[in-house]
Each structure stands twice: as C-alpha cells, then as structure tokens.
A = this chain, B = another copy of it.
Amino acid sequence: MVVEEEICCSKTKVFIGRGVLKEAVHEIPKGCKIALIRQDSVDPSYLLQKVGRIEIEIVLRGGEESKSIESVLRIVGELYSKGFDRSDYLVALGGGTLSDTAGLAAALYLRGLNLVNVPTTLLAMVDAAVGGKVAVNMGNMKNVLGVFYQPSLVIIDLEFLSTLPKEELVNGLAEVVKYAFTLDSELYSYLKSNTTSILSMSGRALEEVIAMSVKNKLTIVREDPYDTKGVRVVLNYGHTVGHAIEALSHLRVGHGRAVAVGMVYEAIAGVELGYTKPHVVDKLVELLKAFGLPTSLEEVGLGSGISTEVFKAIVSRDKKVRRGKLLLPVVIDVGSWRAVEVPVEELVEVLVKCVK
C-alpha cells in the first residue's frame, strides 16, 4: 500500500506492507549516494540485500543516550567527507530514537538531504517514522534541539517485525489505541474485532492497523505541520501522564506502556472535568487489557502512587504548558476529541485524585 502526502512543500511517500522494501527502494534514483544510519540492535542484512550499494554505514546505540548532538555531528562529518550533496539519501534504520537522531542529521546537513525512514519497531512505524518531528537531547533537556523535517520516503516493511519481541509489539499498540480513541472509531471497531490476529501478526490485520494509524497521523500533521495550531496536540493524548510515568520510573517503563496507563488516567480526568463520556474509560481499559497493556500505576510498578508535588513539577515542565495552563487533548467519545486549556494546578489535583 502506498500513501502520499504533501506537507508544507515537502512530499512524503509511505510504503506499507510485508516485503515492500524491495519495491520501495526503486524510489531512490540510481547514481545517488546512500548513507545508512542504523541502530546497533537491528540486523541490516535484509535491507542491504535490497538496497545494494551503501557509501556510509554508521551504527548508533538505541535509547535516549545516543540522541545527542555529538551523534548528529558525527553523521554530518561523515557525509561531508564522502562528498554527499543535497540530492543524496540518508536511510534511517531502527526505532524512534534512531530516526530522531538520524533525521536531525539529515535535516541539518547542507540544510537537508533526502531522508528515508525504515522503522523497525511497531511504535516507530505508527508514530516516529511519519510526521517530521526529529530531535536530540542536550543533557537532561529532552528533545530540546530539533526541527520539523519530512522524510521523502517512509518504508514500513512488516518483515522487520518478525523478530520483534512480543513486548515491543504491544508497546506500539498503545499508540494505535490512541489514534482509535481520539480520531478513528472505525479503527477502534477494527481493533476490537481483530485483537487475536493482530497479536499473532497473522494475515493482513496488522498491516491494516498500521495503515490506518499512519493515515490518521498524516491527516493531523497536514493540518498542523509545525504544532502551533492546537491540532497536533491530539497526538499527545495520554502523553502528559505517560511522560510523568516514564520520568518517575527512570525510563524503566517503556513508552507504550506508560502511554497506555496515561490514557486511562487522562480519560478518567476527562470524565472528572466533564468532557469525556464515562463509557470511554471502560472501553479504553477493556481494549488495552485485550492487548496485554497495563491500565494502572500498580501494573507498572508505581503502586505507591505519585506525590502531588513531584507530579506537579513534572507536568509544569510539559512542553504544552503556556503561562500555567496546559493544552490538554481530551477524548469526548470514541473517535472524537477536543483540546481544552486546563490550569496545571487543577489538572494535577484531578489526576492525583484519580490515581488514589
């Protein structure tokens, strides 16, 4: 399946399917140089076999630590020394942290060469690989250095998932559930009816789910490419609490699991604040459980609850806070949402109450 989108003068072509790499690589014109930036844990042999000649191969470690400006400068230096120009290609092979770093290098090198995202985790396939957000950390300042840079090409080949641990698959499903509850009731029905085949990765169910997720994301990104219009904030659903859980667990709790729990508490808060229909919480918990995702702080080992002060400190630092108020996406009913401005104090109070 091929999805094409133009976002702020940049064209992106997304290939989705098992074995689609073979076809997609023909998008890279002959004669162009190719740099492969890959995550150490990803076996490049399948990609190398299809792509053929590679001028540069740089291996980065996964995880937040390699998301640094030093990694970006290393890539840029190599591109320059091998005489890459702006018509050449950088292929980012790995999960979200890899494409964040490699994508920023691609954006910065001579003000941008062609970026090809080849995500290898479900989480990256449905989230980081499309939308153009790239960034690295500076010390403990997460994603403080970044830009919006659309990939020319995104190759979502389900072959890469065949060796993905089940836990990583489940991790990615949290973001899929996010699209369903905020934007797409059809996706919700599909997830509910096909839980087993999605989890077993049999047939085309997973491909369908990825395609629906990518389309949802691209629709939002096109409406709010630079995250300035209060639309893209919907992609943050479950993430305010989710980021707090990640921080409190010192990243021991994976992103998807943290977001799953975050969505539940944000849904409960949405009910408390009078926006969310109560049955949303039940449906959300039911679906997350069906996918084996956690739905409470206890399940992610934070059972002792969260102190109001710590929680407030974390939420206040959320990027979506403007002058003491957080722009919070709330689900109204399955597949519909709106953004509401909530004072941080009030939100923290409601959330701490929900948690108890």
A-side residues, CB < 8 A to B, are 8-10, 31, 69, 73, 76-77, 80, 85-87, 107-112, 133, 135, 138, 141, 143-149, 225-228, 319, 321-323
Distance of A10 Cα from B227 Cα, bound (Å): 12
Question: Ordered nearest first, which 4 A-B pairs have the shortest CB separation?
Answer: A8-B9, A8-B8, A111-B146, A108-B145
Q: Are A109 and B144 in contact (CB under 8 A)?
A: yes
- B residues near A322, Cβ cutoff 8 Å: 85, 87
Known interface pairs A73-B138, A85-B319; A146-B226 also in contact (CB < 8 Å): no
Tallying the copies of this chain within the complex gives 2
- B residues near A86, Cβ cutoff 8 Å: 227-228, 319
Q: Which residue of chain B is the closest to A139 with respect to CB atoms?
A: B77
- B residues near A141, Cβ cutoff 8 Å: 77, 80
Q: Are A226 and B138 in contact (CB under 8 A)?
A: no
Q: Are A145 and B112 in contact (CB under 8 A)?
A: no
Q: Are A76 and B148 in contact (CB under 8 A)?
A: no
Q: Which residue of chain B is the closest to A31 with respect to CB atoms?
A: B323
Distance of A85 Cα from B321 Cα, bound (Å): 8
Distance of A143 Cα from B76 Cα, bound (Å): 12
Distance of A236 Cα from B328 Cα, bound (Å): 46
Distance of A143 Cα from B110 Cα, bound (Å): 7
Q: Are B147 and A107 in contact (CB under 8 A)?
A: yes
- B residues near A144, Cβ cutoff 8 Å: 76, 80, 109-110
- B residues near A146, Cβ cutoff 8 Å: 108, 110-111
- B residues near A225, Cβ cutoff 8 Å: 9
Chain B CB count within 10 A is highest, among A107, A111, A148, A322, for A111
Q: Which residue of chain B is the closest to A72 with respect to CB atoms?
A: B145
Q: Which residue of chain B is the closest to A229 with respect to CB atoms?
A: B9
- B residues near A110, Cβ cutoff 8 Å: 143-144, 146, 319
- B residues near A228, Cβ cutoff 8 Å: 86
Known interface pairs A80-B141, A147-B147, A322-B87; A226-B112 also in contact (CB < 8 Å): yes
- Apart from A8-B9, A76-B138, A147-B149, 9 more pairs, CB < 8 Å: A9-B225, A77-B141, A80-B144, A86-B228, A87-B322, A111-B143, A111-B147, A112-B147, A147-B147
